[in-house]
Amino acid sequence: MTAAASPSNSTATDQRALSVLKSVWGYDAFRGVQADIVRTVADGGNALVLMPTGGGKSLCYQVPSLLRPGVGIVVSPLIALMKDQVDALRQVGVRAAFLNSTLSPEGVREVEAALVAGELDLLYVAPERLLLSRTLDLLARAPVALFAIDEAHCVSQWGHDFRPEYGQLGVLPERFPHLPRVALTATADERTREDILHVLGLHGAPQFVSSFDRPNIQYRVANKEGPKTQLLDFIRAEHGAGTGGGDAGIVYCLSRKSVEETAKWLQTQGVDAVPYHAGLSPRERNMAQDRFLNEEGLIVVATVAFGMGIDKPNVRFVAHLDLPKSMEGYYQETGRAGRDGLPSTAWMVYGLSDVVNVKRMLDQSAAPPDVKRVEAAKLDALLTYCEAATCRRQVLLTYFGETLEEPCGNCDVCLSPPRVRDATREAQMALSAAVRTGNRFGSAHLTDVLLGRDTEKVRAMGHHQLPTFGVGRGHDEKTWRGLLRQLVSLGYLAAGEHHGLMATPKSRALLKGETTFQMREEALAPRAERRERSARQGRAPVDAHDRPLFEALRQWRLGRAREQGVPPYVIFTDATLKTIAELRPGSLNTLGSVGGVGGRKLEAYGAEVLEVVRGQAGSRQPSAVSRQPTVAERGTAGNAAVLGVLRGGGQISPAVTTASAIKTAPAEREASPTPLFSPHATGDKPQASSNPEVAATLRELRRELSRETGHSAFVIFPNATLEALAARQPRTLDELRGLPGMGEKRIEAYGERIVDAVLTALDG
């Protein structure tokens, strides 16, 4: 195959790619730019891929590796992840292996022999191993399909993740100029991109950049009031903590001490939580990480040391109890939630003293001035985000150079817009309190002065005689603290020594009345009401109605994972189990239509899954499972036949692939249309305000649209929008306008179908 692909050739490649995607991985469609990347690389071209975490980078090189003759060589610095990745590939019948320092000399020899004999489809290699002349010589003798350079930003000295070995990967274009190279990363700034192109010899190669939006993540930021209790309320109400079926999540704290304390406190509250920070022994850290990967509902309380190389797709929430240092840090950390595309939450609380602390730390750091300036700008961007009264996702994406034209409908600001009011006069009062007390007192003292409190300190300083004394009595302490925090966050006040606040040059115009100050009022709803609201929002990814079956499937999955010594999500992802729980398939045929159930997995687990589904329906006991041999027991030769056919080139109809892959039930597979949705799938919990019939029909419509477009359901429209629709029951396009998340683009794309669905539900 050559780089210049004729149109007809491309079509053929596309068809073969789709057929591999369906038969091996069980997915119906590529996401976004995946299809273009796969075509380019499979046809022998180079590519640079910039995609956010969870975007689906792996398939971009895995599918082309199966389409091209030879083995795909994947260079990755994350040795700890290689075993999981190889396990996951073997589960779908791909012949995968890795070469790194964890292998015994004998293990290395085995893999090398398989490589040269052409018995591998994919080989993961650590960079230091790849650079050995022994390995390079082997590769020169072996049939190689392509080189994929994962975490390609590690070539750049500018980033935090620079790896010297990555800097030497220029050896690849030198020694193997005719083989395609695809570089992949989630870090996209211009300088890094230039370095990647330069080191890997990719100038002129097409660059594929995806949107960095993560629509399934709900961003929320709140004022810190009692952080531990706020956290507990949140994970109990929305992530099932303490119920035995809780979600996995990460809680980030700034210091080791607060990590320890928070973890301990959660444990005393009956929440399954472990600490993780650099002060623990390697053994303790490994244990925490292993438990996190291999158990279902564990919460890790950690410093930022935790996360790099965590590939767990079903992290349902990331909570920040302290402010990250930059927007980049925040986005990277929150990005660990919801790789599987299911609804997830990025939750953060912060308060005035956090803002003062991080600003002061930055100010006092020993870094050179220009580095400090850059870091200060990054922190300011984060603080602006925190104080935003507009859609959080729009602020985030704008920072990363993208535009989101409409508010997202899935962040706290969109869901319950804060009130914004002119607070110029109050801002002037607060600023003048700082100035008149000599720009050296902290927020507590300034608040006392504003409220006219006759404290000992006020008296000792003579501040009761200032004209500002008591001018702020019209507001309560919380309002003043909120205002001071916003003034610090937005740069009108700077944090000096001993927590002292001083007016900055920026405040001059405000003091003179030349500019105005808009204040964001904190959400004022009482706590109980807020909790009820979030419970109503139903953040859990599975409807209450389908929850028992979902849990039963998780239990079954855990058992199978333990037997094989792999993490549960390698067997099936939560997204796949969720669809199964909603669909309640009664046959292998229907089960095979579920995303993530490829030929090999259908063969290995299909019968058992159907038993679990039937068992839950009450007609039979799940103990009657007739167990089939596992993938591991059978070896991995099964799919080789399929791959062999595909590699031979030419057009393969999905039917052919499917038939050879799914040997257990060819007849049933061909048997025709099982209804896509069982009656169960339309069940829904009734809601006070929303019409359950309409909600169920909309949910079904959403699945249909998701299938048609290849977007995950949340991209079509989020739950909050669905519920608003079910409550409002719009009968015309015009009635759709103004509903949360219903911008013009969505109305244009799906409006008519939504109105249709509502009318049908109401008629029926």
Binding site for ligand ADP (CB under 6 A): 27, 30-31, 34, 51, 53-59, 313, 339-340, 573, 595
Between 56 and 93, name the residue whose CB sits nearer to ligand ADP.
56
Between 210 and 590, name the residue whose CB sits nearer to ligand ADP.
210
Distance in Å, CB of 313 to ligand ADP, minimum: 5
Distance in Å, CB of 168 to Zn ion, minimum: 44
Half-sphere exposure in the Cβ direction for 600 (13 Å, CA): 29
Long-range pairs, 98-103, Cβ under 8 A, ≥24:
98/123, 98/124, 98/125, 99/123, 99/124, 99/125, 99/126, 99/129, 99/135, 100/124, 100/125, 100/126, 100/129, 101/126, 101/128, 101/129
Distance in Å, CB of 51 to Zn ion, minimum: 22
Between 53 and 687, name the residue whose CB sits nearer to ligand ADP.
53
* 201 token code pair: 């010899």
SS3 302: strand
- For residue 530, the partner it binds in Zn ion, ligand ADP, none, with Cβ less than 5 to 8 A by kind, is none
Binding characters for Zn ion, 372-391, by CB under 5 A (x = yes): -------------------x
Select the span of 152-160, 246-254, 409-417, 422-430 touching Zn ion (CB under 5 A): 409-417
Rounded Cα distance between 241 and 271, Å, is 6
408 counts as binding Zn ion under rule CB under 5 A: yes
Select the span of 98-106, 283-291, 402-410, 465-473 touching Zn ion (CB under 5 A): 402-410
SS3 759: helix
Rounded Cα distance between 616 and 612, Å, is 6
Maximum Cα–Cα distance across the chain: 92
Between 312 and 669, name the residue whose CB sits nearer to ligand ADP.
312
> Cα 667 to chain center, whole Å?
39
Burial class (CB in 10 A: 0-12, 13-18, 19+), 324: buried
Between 37 and 396, name the residue whose CB sits nearer to ligand ADP.
37
Residues 6 or more apart in contact with residue 442 via CB below 8 angstroms:
356, 498, 499, 500, 501
Distance in Å, CB of 110 to ligand ADP, minimum: 27
Distance in Å, CB of 27 to ligand ADP, minimum: 4
Between 95 and 214, name the residue whose CB sits nearer to ligand ADP.
214
Write b or e for each residue in 68-88: b if 16 or more Cβ atoms lie within 10 A of its Cβ, otherwise e.
Answer: bebbbbbbbbbbebbbbbbbb
483 counts as binding Zn ion under rule CB under 5 A: no
- For residue 50, the partner it binds in ligand ADP, Zn ion, none, with Cβ less than 5 to 8 A by kind, is none
Distance in Å, CB of 343 to ligand ADP, minimum: 15
Residue pair 173/79 in contact (Cβ under 8 Å)? The answer is no
Between 220 and 339, name the residue whose CB sits nearer to ligand ADP.
339
Rounded Cα distance between 391 and 311, Å, is 28
Distance in Å, CB of 732 to ligand ADP, minimum: 34
- For residue 408, the partner it binds in ligand ADP, Zn ion, none, with Cβ less than 5 to 8 A by kind, is Zn ion
Between 55 and 409, name the residue whose CB sits nearer to ligand ADP.
55
661 counts as binding Zn ion under rule CB under 5 A: no
Distance in Å, CB of 246 to ligand ADP, minimum: 21
Between 182 and 411, name the residue whose CB sits nearer to Zn ion.
411
Which candidate, 206, 209, 181, 183, places its Cα nearest to that of 195? Answer: 183
Distance in Å, CB of 313 to Zn ion, minimum: 24
As a whole number of Å, the end-to-end CA separation of the chain is 55
Residue whose beta carbon is closest to ligand ADP:
56
Burial class (CB in 10 A: 0-12, 13-18, 19+), 117: exposed
Binding characters for Zn ion, 414-433, by CB under 5 A (x = yes): x-------------------
Report CA-CA distances (Å) from 203 to 44, 73, 148, 181, 197: 16, 21, 16, 12, 5
Applying CB under 5 A, the residues found at the interface with Zn ion are 391, 393, 407-408, 411, 414
